Structure 1
């Protein structure tokens, strides 16, 4: 390995896996495996003169892990983990945490993470919010024709009422989405939905063999809430929400 290069670590997998010769990681580098005992680390060489932390780098990191998770159990290592060389991968990562990682991988056998993401249809949710709370509609009517500055306090109050109503609706819809897929999951994590009109963001750990069942459950949910919610199923993904935050205590770059 050249003196100006190091090893970038993507994740931990069972030692028996064979890497795809076509698999590419950050910067288009070939992905290989470093093995120790019953574990292997997916790695690629990294030129230390090259900046690390671009959106393209993060996408390459996640893509490699997600593609792996669709085939074998994988413990994702946090983005930006770099070690000096292959020996350091063994000494500082695989050997040190061998039994811990092996146990975690056993719990992920045949499983991957899926995400159910739901977004409100803006006009529909605002219409529902207005219908559900007469105070909001009354306040809107009271300030509709008043100058902006003259009705400043009322407009602030209106914004707070709408936000509170959306927050309450978002909590209820997050529970509804989680309940719809929970029977197919071995783990469920609810997260803050992104964006002004995010309705739900639910990560689950589920058997790969039940993916079609999960697709059907999400399709039923989407049909039931058609016109109110736009629902998407993402996955299979690496189980980011269901493993400890793995990061070698070595040279790293934050994203």
Structure 2
């Protein structure tokens, strides 16, 4: 029998979720969901006795992700909420309380940073056949196709590949142009911009915007203007408002004592460590171990990569301890606020 643990959906202010949440949690969309509060910070949780998400099939993964998002969006209707990374599971409710004890201040700071902000996505599709037909009439594509037809048998495949690459570049250029038009129209309204991956040929762009709730009407009007200007070339959908999934997802991870010990040994840092000590030791060793200074050593690159990984682990540990609230005992969990990518500045989007 699988051990019962605690699933974390997200965090909120303690006073935001005073009314009971609907029973719509994992694994079946009907399980109870509740909150645990420590001071002014709260976590949205449920019981968990299933496998980790990395072991799920794709259909089951998507089904559970939908349930996870439904819980967060229900909570968001009551106030500011930050979603936890999908699949976040802690050992028990007591460990959730310990997390809030150490990280409650950081939770409040993060909630304040995103107070009143929501995510909306603009996703556009096109008629791919029509787009390809238009591209096929471009002079350079016509010329490349003619050259492929006239190529010798041994060169024909390479010529056909070149035509395909030319068409793909033209499609990508159109996507870039349309996304630039979107950003020129709505970018200045946003507090943050995060382009998402285009995972289907029919998809032109999928961009997340961090918006003030009061700016949503202006956002919708801007999308309508863009739609009119494009005269039906794209079908644009507005998705949301949503929690700020793309801009502020709470990551809770457990410190790996053995990995930290190995990192300390590699950097020569016994006992208590500090961020300055980690950086000083790393810089000294990096000069010694850099592959450029160890030409002919086949293991130099691997050693240098291990040094970089140790630096990252130890810095995360030091910074996490510095951020955590004063509490009895050192934190065993690390909290970070993640976003899905590097993003774009709203100013850059506004310039188009």
Settle same-fold status: TM greater than 0.5: yes
2:224 pairs with one of 219, 226, 246: 219
Alignment of 1:1-255 (within 5 A): 4-16=3-15, 17-27=17-27, 28-48=30-50, 52=53, 53=56, 54=60, 55-91=62-98, 93-131=99-137, 133-143=138-148, 151-243=156-248, 245-249=250-254
Name the SS of the counterpart of 1:25 in structure 2.
coil
Between 162-171 and 189-198, the greater mean CA deviation after superposition: 189-198
Q: Which has the larger radius of gyration?
A: 2
Number of residue equivalences = 247
Deviations for 1:195-216, whole angstroms, at most 9, x for unmatched residues? 1232111111111233222222
Report deviation, 1:64. 1.5
Q: Distance in 1 between matches of 2:2 and 2:178?
A: 54
5+ residue gaps, structure 1: 251-255
CA contact (8 A) 2:210 2:244 kept: yes
Deviations for 1:15-58, whole angstroms, at most 9, x for unmatched residues? 0022444241112211100101111100011224x675422111
5+ residue gaps, structure 2: 256-352
Between 95-104 and 14-23, the greater mean CA deviation after superposition: 14-23
Report deviation, 1:169. 1.9
Q: Distance in 2 between matches of 1:172 and 1:142?
A: 28
**Which has the larger share of helix?**
2
Name the SS of the counterpart of 1:22 in structure 2.
coil
Q: Distance in 1 between matches of 2:163 and 2:2?
A: 62
- TM-score when scaled to structure 2? 0.63
**Which has the larger share of strand?**
1
Q: Distance in 2 between matches of 1:111 and 1:51?
A: 31
